[in-house]
């Protein structure tokens, strides 16, 4: 992977490149970011850049042409190693360690490097089991780092989700960080760094990976994956900064225009136009259960923006023109006296739809309650 393949994150990329050119590469670095962030992608791009064979003094990215880059792109470089949370599966019935899942990991990351733990567990067929980095993994790690680099300048060990390490594995990693083997770089990628041992945190250089904004995700889906503008914005609003979820959702995304549906629905509720609400109920019914839940999540996101706008318009900058016009106008009717109740109505509806309640009854009941709440005085 190369830095150019990762959307945004310009400042982090610049800093990482400079550490290599200035020969200030820390032996242990912690890429900390929320699930769905670019933390793993940046660690992979950094690892590729470190061992690129054609990296020049002014290079800002790996070349992608040399043997090292091509092997790294396929995650088969002998000096690129991974430690991962795993568990026993039908394919690996005992002694589950990362090396036994190497092929699964390659296909998982190459498909989408922004995925999370649950995605990984589902990918390896773990069912409802919890993944962890076991104490047996620590023995494998010690053997791994005792060997010199095979062909590259650095031996790189990427530990994905180190917060899931067994105490024995955590202590083994701590010892390696205290007495690092020569020419070995540890890149820890964590979603919950607060769960790591304080002694580990004190021995790593932090790399803080910021979450993606709605605009970032929308633009990436539109420009790189040819998702239509309306659908891209809709997905971006639903995933709340999780680029992995956005990439997964683009495949399943429907042609429903949730924003237009929500605007028309709110106007009908405010005007207490029961005949139109009943017609809108028929549209809601035809969406199907998964899209109904998705629409309700979308509505919760819009309500949040409306409430923030009513407090201070600067809290929701960069809205598309149509959305900004609606949010600004609707903010007069969503306030502290009714915001919690409106949110609760949508949450309750989501709960009931998820449990197979009749969508028509849920939608009509919710609509009539929302109509009353929108008339509530400040």
Q: Tell me the pTM.
A: 0.75
Q: What share of the chain is helix, strand, coil (3-state, %, to 5)?
A: 55, 10, 35
Helix (H) or strand (E) holding 184: strand 184-190
In the DSSP assignment, the letter for residue 75 is T
Q: Is 299 exposed, middle or buried (0-12, 13-18, 19+ CB in 10 A)?
A: buried
pLDDT 10s digit of each residue in the chain, 378 long? 999 999 999 999 999 999 999 999 999 999 999 989 999 999 999 999 999 999 888 899 999 999 999 999 999 999 999 999 999 888 888 888 999 999 999 999 999 999 988 889 889 988 778 889 998 898 888 888 888 888 899 999 999 999 999 998 999 899 999 888 889 999 999 999 999 999 999 999 999 999 898 889 989 999 988 888 878 887 887 787 889 888 887 765 556 678 889 999 999 999 999 999 999 999 998 888 878 887 898 899 889 889 888 888 888 776 777 788 898 999 989 888 899 999 999 999 999 998 889 999 999 999 999 999 999 887
Which pLDDT value is given to residue 180?
Answer: 86
Residues whose CB falls within 8 Å of the CB of residue 105, separated by 6 or more in sequence, listed in order: 75, 82, 84, 98
Phi, psi of 211 (to 5 degrees): -70, 155
Looking at the chain, how many residues does it have? Answer: 378
Give the Cα separation of 27 and 278 in Å (integer).
63
Give the Cα separation of 186 and 173 in Å (integer).
9
61 C-beta neighbours (distance < 10 Å), count: 17
Which pLDDT value is given to residue 252?
Answer: 59
- Tell me the three state secondary structure of residue 257: coil
Which pLDDT value is given to residue 336?
Answer: 83
Bridge pairing between strands 184-190 and 205-208: unpaired
Which pLDDT value is given to residue 354?
Answer: 85
Give the Cα separation of 74 and 57 in Å (integer).
25
Dihedral in degrees, nearest 10, Cα atoms 55, 61, 67, 70: 180
Confirm if 32 and 196 have CB atoms less than 8 A apart: no
Label residues 206-234 b or e (16+ Cβ within 10 Å = b). ebebebbebebbbbbbbeeeebeebbbbb
Phi, psi of 98 (to 5 degrees): -55, -40
Confirm if 12 and 207 have CB atoms less than 8 A apart: yes
């Amino acid at each position: 992977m190369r830095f150019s393949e990762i959307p945004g994150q310009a400042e982090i990329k610049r800093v990482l490149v400079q550490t290599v050119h200035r020969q200030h590469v820390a032996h242990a670095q912690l890429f900390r970011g929320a699930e769905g962030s670019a933390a793993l992608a940046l660690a992979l791009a950094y690892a590729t850049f470190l061992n690129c064979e054609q990296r020049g003094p002014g290079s800002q990215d790996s070349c992608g042409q040399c043997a090292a880059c091509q092997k790294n792109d396929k995650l088969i470089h002998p000096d690129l190693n991974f430690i991962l949370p795993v568990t026993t599966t039908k394919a690996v019935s005992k002694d589950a360690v990362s090396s036994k899942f190497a092929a699964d990991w390659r296909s998982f990351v190459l498909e989408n490097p922004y995925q999370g733990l649950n995605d990984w567990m589902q990918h390896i067929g773990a069912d409802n089991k919890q993944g962890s980095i076991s104490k047996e993994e620590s023995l494998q790690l010690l053997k791994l780092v005792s060997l010199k680099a095979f062909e590259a300048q650095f031996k790189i060990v990427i530990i994905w989700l180190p917060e899931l390490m067994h105490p024995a594995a955590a202590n083994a990693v701590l010892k390696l960080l205290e007495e690092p083997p020569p020419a070995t770089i540890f890149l820890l990628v964590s979603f919950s760094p607060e769960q790591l041992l304080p002694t580990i945190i004190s021995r790593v250089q932090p790399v803080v990976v910021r979450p993606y904004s709605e605009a970032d995700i929308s633009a990436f889906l539109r420009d790189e994956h040819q998702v239509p503008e309306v659908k891209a914005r809709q997905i971006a609003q639903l995933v709340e900064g999780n680029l992995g979820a956005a990439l997964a959702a683009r495949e399943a995304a429907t042609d429903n225009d949730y924003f237009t549906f929500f605007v028309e629905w709110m106007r009908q509720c405010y005007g207490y136009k029961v005949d139109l609400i009943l017609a809108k109920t028929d549209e809601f019914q035809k969406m199907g259960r998964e899209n109904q839940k998705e629409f309700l999540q979308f509505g919760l996101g819009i309500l949040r923006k409306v409430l923030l706008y009513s407090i201070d318009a600067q809290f929701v900058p960069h809205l598309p023109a149509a959305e900004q016009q609606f949010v600004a106008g609707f903010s007069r009717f969503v306030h502290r006296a009714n915001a919690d109740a409106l949110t609760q109505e949508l949450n309750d509806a989501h709960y009931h739809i998820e449990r197979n309640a009749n969508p028509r009854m849920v939608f009509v009941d919710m609509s009539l309650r929302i109509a009353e709440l929108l008339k509530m005085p400040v």
